[in-house]
């Protein structure tokens, strides 16, 4: 199909309503003439305010569109006539404030927004990827319905009307029959800050599934255990620190908030002499710029941390006053646990020399309180990950750097609804009326009764605190109570297996920004379940590109990209002052793409039955304006600046020591034996702070005891609930370390296979973005030179990597049959740990068009091209993918996820991505 | 806050003073090899795949397990080999020191490409002329920094006016540890490096990957 005509909508699929007479282009021209803002200087840089925002959305979106794909630019940006619009980046999950430059209705450039107090005007390589995916040649622009069997790759274009009608007709009966739980909404990256939850709550399903466990559950649980639900992520005061102990974190390339750390890190080091010590398995960018890089055996970071704690306690380098005042343990209580973790022991398991451990512990303590730990996947994505991270976090507590300048600080994570640490901040929340959530499942509830007997029994034995928030095995897996104890992190990697085992029957399954079919562990198992019309009778995918996930759908709905939609935004500021930002459209969605907010609103209205009462708004801008109605800045100014924060506010140091105000203390009472201060509101009482021994009433931490809970009995409670013996270190209420089962004696011909992330990529969704793919397009196997020599391997050799099942209390543990294997090529890297081999995981797609999968779907007759527009063709991609196999290059990477075992850490459920034992064979 | 002008608002042209003497310092002590500069430049100038105006080389250190990161752009040399090599006088030095290719005069002989010791020049496959970094003339003339400088998260790239005594770049540029890359080429570049170690010059390729996919220059290190 060489014609450049837009695919035609056949008459029986076209909307019944007559088209409006104005094309989108004409509407935009009218808007510009009506005049937006003119900024200081009168240079014609205007803020984009299309006239359509005054019009009822229904009229415009129900018309067949005349998509005007803006042509490829012919020249550089003319900054005097281009338009600058602030928004929030979505090139990864860090979400820096950015400025988008628009010329001739095309987004041309992304720069940093200097007003963002977190990113401070900086961006990374991924930011401009938003332009790449908005104008990607095979971007999805029209709704599609599958033809033939699911997964065959045959599609036809349908109208939005037809798509939404079909979806609503499948969903409505579930709700009417009182079984909304049969609808599963599964997202990959939802940053709507509660908008999609509005939909799932209105529908009544508890099944909002996510990928938190695929990601960071094991490192969030320790934080919430120590510091409270509010602080599942920390904000180290990098700008003022003097010493950082980094256990496997890589903020120079990845990391949630990586750029916020990076933009402060090098200034701290180069200008102020701060030291960065990194434990890693490969020469990541962070390890490479560190003052010291120590290759460490995977999964032993916790042992090194415990040994450092041992040294700090043994040599009395701890802050006794802080420990006594602010923790629920004493040094005496910790001593027996720490005793056995000598530096010599840690050396034995980790390979880090005992005298190095001692020296680093002393240096860390000497720098206190202007020191902090850093850790992320390297330490946590292991079977022993959550205990290891508790050990690492204990270091900060022992030296008392928590909340101090240059220390391990805690600052508000989310858009404000009057939570801990948010006093004095405007209350920002979605406009009402808002639906309440579904009721928990108890005996008698039809969904509860359908559960297997063994599960019902387990749940019946749960403590009350868990019974009252149990919502079935997909949302609240009973085998992993700590995956939903603080909040519902879930165990995403088990979802498909649970569906296969009929732990939950599904009628309608909706994917949103999800790449499970490619990116989940044992992804082929996910694909098998997704392909089954018996297990998943109806699958709707909301996506911007034809991904492996969308390929297994029945209906695909084209989403607006992040450059084309609204979102409220807030995240923890490493500058320690809470702030908020607005994501706003820079251009109208291309083709017939619609933002997920519009899609779910329209779907809710179609389903009806009361859902529509929660979606009674036409104009999305008005909706977000309502969200921000309490902001002490007018809406137009906020849109123009993109960011708001209170410049007079003190940074969030030592939030726990902040005194409670007289107002807060009204109607409060002190619990004599604990000092906890409770405030009465009607029949309920809420803990608001702590009366200290010195008589002061302060806020404390948002934990049950209002102290840092170094001892947390919830680990023992959870172990008991799922039948793990209390003597198992998994159950230890104190931080500890234990070896990963099977890792104590790895045969010399086997290695640990780990994955890693690149600075130019974000998970599995950027491999097809041209400038990023140009820099990193494949994922060879990184291997130490000595190890390569032992195996008789040379640079570029082709090898088969076979991955074996994990041991311990995890999925299919100890099965002899390997999980799978993949073929890759050798890349010799000097800084690799000799017992570790590694590949990144961003590339190796078979979908995602010419760059992602090295195939042109748009050219296939009867394929997903019906949802694409040839006007997006980019001759640069067509002619110059120099790395492609077709042009004699190395090609795109190798898909490794089918060989990665599903491996949730016990109790918490975080995926142990970095535990894999493998063998390597030259092919 | 509401009353402060937006930082990205352009000043009136009359108030803009473009640099009289362009200079740049690339501080390798700060660079983390993130490629923000490279992708920013690619996007700004729609640089064809396979060619680079700005690229970050990754090199294995000889003395440790670590990697080092070295951004490379046109050095805007005061004694430019490309200018000297061009038989069509299509390469000129501007008053401010910028070295520019005149795309109209360029007849595509490509003598400049091989003459550059830094691999800064490529032959544009569509325009069929020599092409390279021009320090974002279209940005500097309206008072904006070059695209690469604007985005660098660690301030490893710094741009300014060496003729302005108030410009902090002057002191950096003159710092005794700031030096050109490949000094043996005697190009007297306006772009100098901090933290450029003696072993690095030889390890850094003087060519970039050609558009037809030939040549391995250490850029693709994945």
Mean pLDDT of A700-720: 98
Mean pLDDT of A292-302: 98
Q: pLDDT class for A67, splitting at 50, 70, 90?
A: low
- What are the residues whose beta carbons fall under 8 Å from the beta carbon of B152, sequence distance 6 or more? A122, B36, B37
- Residues of chain A in contact with residue B42, where contact means CB-CB under 8 angstroms, are 128, 771, 774
In this predicted structure, what is the pLDDT of residue A416?
81
- Residues of chain B in contact with residue A108, where contact means CB-CB under 8 angstroms, are 43
**Cβ within 8 Å, pair A266-B32:** yes
Q: How far is B187 from chain A (nearest CA, A)?
A: 29
- Residues of chain B in contact with residue A261, where contact means CB-CB under 8 angstroms, are none
Res A18 pLDDT > 90 = no
In this predicted structure, what is the pLDDT of residue A51?
35
Mean pLDDT of A861-868: 96
**Cβ within 8 Å, pair A293-B38:** no
A125, closest residue in chain B (CA to CA)? B36
**Cβ within 8 Å, pair A125-B209:** no
Res B218 pLDDT > 50 = no
**Beta-sheet pairing, A371-375 with A243-247:** parallel
With 0-12 / 13-18 / 19 or more C-beta atoms within 10 angstroms meaning exposed / middle / buried, residue A354 is middle
**pLDDT tens readout for residues A335-357:** 999 999 999 999 999 999 999 99
Res A233 pLDDT > 70 = yes
Bridge partners, residue A580, by sequence? A644
Comparing CA positions, the residue from A784, A776, A767, A124 lying closest to residue B60 is: A784
**Cβ within 8 Å, pair B36-A831:** no
Interface size, chain A vs chain B, as Cβ–Cβ contacts under 8 Å: 199
Q: What percent of chain B has pLDDT over 90?
A: 86
Count other Cβ atoms within 10 Å, centred on residue A460: 12
Which residues between 66 and 85 in chain B have a beta carbon less than 8 angstroms from any beta carbon of chain A? 66-69
Which one of A39, A128, A290 has the shortest CB-CB distance to B40? A128
- Is B39 an 8 Å CB contact of chain A? yes
A885, closest residue in chain B (CA to CA)? B213
- Is B43 an 8 Å CB contact of chain A? yes
User: Measuring CA to CA, how many Å separate A249 from each of A253, A284, A910?
Assistant: 9, 9, 16
B29, closest residue in chain A (CA to CA)? A270
- For A697, how many CA atoms within 13 A lie in the half-sphere containing its CB? 19
- Residues of chain A in contact with residue B34, where contact means CB-CB under 8 angstroms, are 124-125, 252-253, 262, 285, 759-760
Higher pLDDT, B219 or A627: A627
**Cβ within 8 Å, pair A888-B33:** no
Which residues between 131 and 150 in chain B have a beta carbon less than 8 angstroms from any beta carbon of chain A? 138-139, 142, 144, 147, 150
- Residues of chain B in contact with residue A771, where contact means CB-CB under 8 angstroms, are 38-39, 42-43
Which one of B35, B138, B154 has the shortest CB-CB distance to A760? B35
In this predicted structure, what is the pLDDT of residue B2?
58
- Is B124 an 8 Å CB contact of chain A? no
**Cβ within 8 Å, pair B222-A77:** no
Q: How far is A711 from chain B (nearest CA, A)?
A: 38
Which residues between 104 and 123 in chain B have a beta carbon less than 8 angstroms from any beta carbon of chain A? none
- What are the residues whose beta carbons fall under 8 Å from the beta carbon of A900, sequence distance 6 or more? A521, A522, A523, A755, A803, A819, A820, A913, A916
B144, closest residue in chain A (CA to CA)? A79
In this predicted structure, what is the pLDDT of residue B211?
38
Which residues between 192 and 221 in chain B have a beta carbon less than 8 angstroms from any beta carbon of chain A? 209, 211-213, 219-220
Mean pLDDT of B134-148: 97
Answer for the pair A536, A509: CB distance below 8 angstroms, yes or no: yes
In this predicted structure, what is the pLDDT of residue B135?
98
**SS3 per residue for A390-410:** HHHHHHHHHHCCCCCCCCCCC
* Neighbour-count burial for A400-439, b at 16+ CB within 10 Å, e otherwise: bbbbbbbbbbbbbbbbbeebbbbeebbebbbeeeebeebe
Which one of A129, A640, A883 has the shortest CB-CB distance to B6? A640
**SS3 per residue for A817-832:** CCCEEEEEEEEECCCC
- For B221, how many CA atoms within 13 A lie in the half-sphere containing its CB? 23
In this predicted structure, what is the pLDDT of residue B208?
76
* Neighbour-count burial for B159-171, b at 16+ CB within 10 Å, e otherwise: bbbbeeeebebbe
Res A786 pLDDT > 90 = yes
Res A721 pLDDT > 90 = yes
Mean pLDDT of chain A: 92
Res A92 pLDDT > 60 = yes
**Cβ within 8 Å, pair A77-B44:** yes
Which one of A45, A252, A880 has the shortest CB-CB distance to B49? A880
Separation CA A1–CA B157 (nearest Å): 47
**pLDDT tens readout for residues A657-701:** 999 999 999 999 999 999 999 998 888 899 999 999 999 999 999
Q: Which of A79, A113, A254, A295 to mutate to test the interface with B (most CBs of B within 10 A)?
A: A79
Comparing CA positions, the residue from A170, A109, A172, A174 lying closest to residue A135 is: A109
**Cβ within 8 Å, pair A80-B222:** no
**Cβ within 8 Å, pair A121-B7:** yes
- Is B103 an 8 Å CB contact of chain A? no
Separation CA A230–CA A234 (nearest Å): 10
Q: What is the 8-class DSSP label of residue A182? A: G
Mean pLDDT of A379-391: 97
User: Measuring CA to CA, how many Å separate A863 from each of A547, A776, A828?
Assistant: 13, 29, 41
**Cβ within 8 Å, pair B151-A293:** no
**pLDDT tens readout for residues A390-399:** 999 999 999 9
Separation CA A721–CA A911 (nearest Å): 21
Res A42 pLDDT > 70 = no
**pLDDT tens readout for residues A190-223:** 899 999 999 999 999 999 999 899 999 999 999 9
Res A367 pLDDT > 90 = yes
Q: How far is A899 from chain B (nearest CA, A)?
A: 20
In this predicted structure, what is the pLDDT of residue A910?
97
Alpha-helical regions (H) of A826-915: 849-852, 875-880
Which one of A112, A775, A829 has the shortest CB-CB distance to B35? A775
In this predicted structure, what is the pLDDT of residue B205?
78
B35, closest residue in chain A (CA to CA)? A125
In this predicted structure, what is the pLDDT of residue A469?
96
With 0-12 / 13-18 / 19 or more C-beta atoms within 10 angstroms meaning exposed / middle / buried, residue B3 is exposed
Res A53 pLDDT > 60 = no
**Cβ within 8 Å, pair B35-A39:** no
B195, closest residue in chain A (CA to CA)? A270
B139, closest residue in chain A (CA to CA)? A79
In this predicted structure, what is the pLDDT of residue B1?
56
- Residues of chain B in contact with residue A263, where contact means CB-CB under 8 angstroms, are 153-154
Count other Cβ atoms within 10 Å, centred on residue A696: 12
Q: What are phi and psi of A765, to 5 degrees?
A: -115, 10
Structure tokens at A779: 């994922």
Q: Give the residue carrying structure tokens 């400088």.
A: B149
**Cβ within 8 Å, pair B36-A252:** no
**pLDDT tens readout for residues A476-498:** 999 999 999 999 999 999 999 99
Comparing CA positions, the residue from A84, A417, A393 lying closest to residue A230 is: A417
**Cβ within 8 Å, pair A77-B42:** no
The predicted complex's ipTM stands at: 0.95
In this predicted structure, what is the pLDDT of residue B81?
97
């Amino acid at each position: 199909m060489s014609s450049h005509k837009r695919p035609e909508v056949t008459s029986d699929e076209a909307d019944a309503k007559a088209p409006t007479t104005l094309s989108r282009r004409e509407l935009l021209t009218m808007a510009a003439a009506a005049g937006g803002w003119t900024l200081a200087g009168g240079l014609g840089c205007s803020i984009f305010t299309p006239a359509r925002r005054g019009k009822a959305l229904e009229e415009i979106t129900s018309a067949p569109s005349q998509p005007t794909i803006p042509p490829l630019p012919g020249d550089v940006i003319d900054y005097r006539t281009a338009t600058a619009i602030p928004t929030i980046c979505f090139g990864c999950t860090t979400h820096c404030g950015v400025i988008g430059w628009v010329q001739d209705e095309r987004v041309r450039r992304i720069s940093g927004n200097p007003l963002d107090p977190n990113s401070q005007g900086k961006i990374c390589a991924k930011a401009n990827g938003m332009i790449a995916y908005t104008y990607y040649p095979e971007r999805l622009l029209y709704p599609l319905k599958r033809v033939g069997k699911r997964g065959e790759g045959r599609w036809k274009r349908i109208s939005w009307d037809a798509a939404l009608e079909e979806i609503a007709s499948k969903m409505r009966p579930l709700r009417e029959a009182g079984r909304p739980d049969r609808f599963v909404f599964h997202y990959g990256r939802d940053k709507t800050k509660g908008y999609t939850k509005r939909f799932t709550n209105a529908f009544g399903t508890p099944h909002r599934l996510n990928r938190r466990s695929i990601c960071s559950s094991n490192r969030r649980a320790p934080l919430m255990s120590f510091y409270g639900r509010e602080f599942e992520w920390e904000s180290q005061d990098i700008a003022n620190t003097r010493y950082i102990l980094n256990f496997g974190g890589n903020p120079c390339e990845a990391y949630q908030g990586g750029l916020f750390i990076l933009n402060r890190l090098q200034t701290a080091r180069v200008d102020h002499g701060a030291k960065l010590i990194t434990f890693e398995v490969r020469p990541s960018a962070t390890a490479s710029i560190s003052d010291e890089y120590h290759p460490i055996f995977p999964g032993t970071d916790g042992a090194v941390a415990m040994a450092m704690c041992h040294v700090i306690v043994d040599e009395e380098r701890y802050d006794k006053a802080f420990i006594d005042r602010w923790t629920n343990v004493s040094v005496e209580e910790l001593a027996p646990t720490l005793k056995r973790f000598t530096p010599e022991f840690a050396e034995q398991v980790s390979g880090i020399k005992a005298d190095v451990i001692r020296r680093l512990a002393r240096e860390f303590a000497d720098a206190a309180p202007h020191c902090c730990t850093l850790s992320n996947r390297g330490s946590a994505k292991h079977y022993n990950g959550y205990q290891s991270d508790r050990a690492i976090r204990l270091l900060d507590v022992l030296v008392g750097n928590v909340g101090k300048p240059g220390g391990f600080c805690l600052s508000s994570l989310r858009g404000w609804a009057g939570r801990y640490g948010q006093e004095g901040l405007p209350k920002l929340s979605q406009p009402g009326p808002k639906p309440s959530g579904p009721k928990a499942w108890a005996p008698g509830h039809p969904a509860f009764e359908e559960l297997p007997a063994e599960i019902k029994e387990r749940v019946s034995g749960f403590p009350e605190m868990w019974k009252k928030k149990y919502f079935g095995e997909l949302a609240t897996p009973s085998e992993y109570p700590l995956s939903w104890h603080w909040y519902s992190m879930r165990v995403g990697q088990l979802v498909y297996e649970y569906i296969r085992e009929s732990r939950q029957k599904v009628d309608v399954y909706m994917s949103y920004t999800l790449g499970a079919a490619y990116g989940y562990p044992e992804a082929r198992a996910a694909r098998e379940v997704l392909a089954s019309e018996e297990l998943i009778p109806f699958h709707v995918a909301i996506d911007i590109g034809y991904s492996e996930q969308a390929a297994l759908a029945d209906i695909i709905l084209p989403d607006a990209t992040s450059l084309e939609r609204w979102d409220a935004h807030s995240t923890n500021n490493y500058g320690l002052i809470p702030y908020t930002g607005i994501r706003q459209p820079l251009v109208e969605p291309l083709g017939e793409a619609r933002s997920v907010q519009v899609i779910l609103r329209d779907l809710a209205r179609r389903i009806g039955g009361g859902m529509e009462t929660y979606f009674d708004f036409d104009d999305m801008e008005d909706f977000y304006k309502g969200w921000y109605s309490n902001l002490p800045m007018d809406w137009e100014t906020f849109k123009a600046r993109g960011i708001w924060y209170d410049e007079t506010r003190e940074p969030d140091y030592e939030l726990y020591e902040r005194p409670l105000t007289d107002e807060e203390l009204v109607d409060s009472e002190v619990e004599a034996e604990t000092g906890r201060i409770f405030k009465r509101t009607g029949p309920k009482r809420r803990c608001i702070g702590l009366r200290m021994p010195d008589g002061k009433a302060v806020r404390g931490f948002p934990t049950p005891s209002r102290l840092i809970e170094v001892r947390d009995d919830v680990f023992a409670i959870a172990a008991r609930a799922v039948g793990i013996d209390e003597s198992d270190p998994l159950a230890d209420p104190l931080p500890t370390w234990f070896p990963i089962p099977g890792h104590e004696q790895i045969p010399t011909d086997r290695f640990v296979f780990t994955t890693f992330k690149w600075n130019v990529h974000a998970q599995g969704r950027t491999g097809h973005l041209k400038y990023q793919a140009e820099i990193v397009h494949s994922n060879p196997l990184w291997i130490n030179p000595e190890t390569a020599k032992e195996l008789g391997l040379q640079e570029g050799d082709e090898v088969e990597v076979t991955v074996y099942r994990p041991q311990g209390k995890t999925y299919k543990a100890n099965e002899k049959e390997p999980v799978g294997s993949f073929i890759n090529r050798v890349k010799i890297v000097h800084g690799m740990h000799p017992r570790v081999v590694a590949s990144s995981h961003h590339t190796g797609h078979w979908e995602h068009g010419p760059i992602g999968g090295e195939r042109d779907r748009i050219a296939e007759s009867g394929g997903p091209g019906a949802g694409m527009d040839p006007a997006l063709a980019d001759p640069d991609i067509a002619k110059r993918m120099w790395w492609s196999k077709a042009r004699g290059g190395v090609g795109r990477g190798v898909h490794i996820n089918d060989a990665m075992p599903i491996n949730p850490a016990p109790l918490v459920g975080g995926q142990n991505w970095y535990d894999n034992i493998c063998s390597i064979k030259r092919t | 806050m509401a009353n402060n002008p937006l930082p990205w608002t352009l000043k009136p042209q009359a108030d803009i003073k473009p640099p009289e003497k362009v200079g740049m310092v690339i501080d390798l002590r700060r660079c983390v090899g993130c490629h923000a500069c490279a992708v920013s430049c690619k996007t700004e100038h729609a640089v064809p795949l396979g060619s680079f105006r700005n690229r970050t080389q990754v090199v294995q250190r000889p003395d440790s397990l670590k990697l080092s990161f070295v951004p490379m752009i046109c050095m805007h040399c005061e004694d430019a080999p490309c200018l000297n090599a061009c038989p069509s006088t299509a390469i000129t030095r501007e008053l401010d020191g910028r070295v520019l290719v005149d795309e109209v005069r360029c007849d595509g002989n490509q003598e400049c490409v091989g003459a550059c010791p830094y691999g800064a020049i490529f032959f544009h496959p569509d325009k069929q002329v020599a092409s390279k970094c021009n320090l974002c003339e279209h940005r500097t003339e309206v008072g904006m920094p070059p695209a690469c400088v604007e985005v660098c998260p660690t301030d490893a790239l710094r741009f300014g006016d060496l003729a302005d005594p108030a410009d902090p770049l002057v002191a950096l540029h003159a710092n005794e540890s700031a030096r050109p890359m490949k000094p043996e080429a005697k190009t007297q570049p306006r772009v100098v490096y901090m933290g450029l170690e003696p072993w690095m010059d030889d390890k850094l390729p003087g060519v970039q990957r050609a558009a037809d996919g030939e040549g391995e220059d250490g850029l693709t290190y994945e």
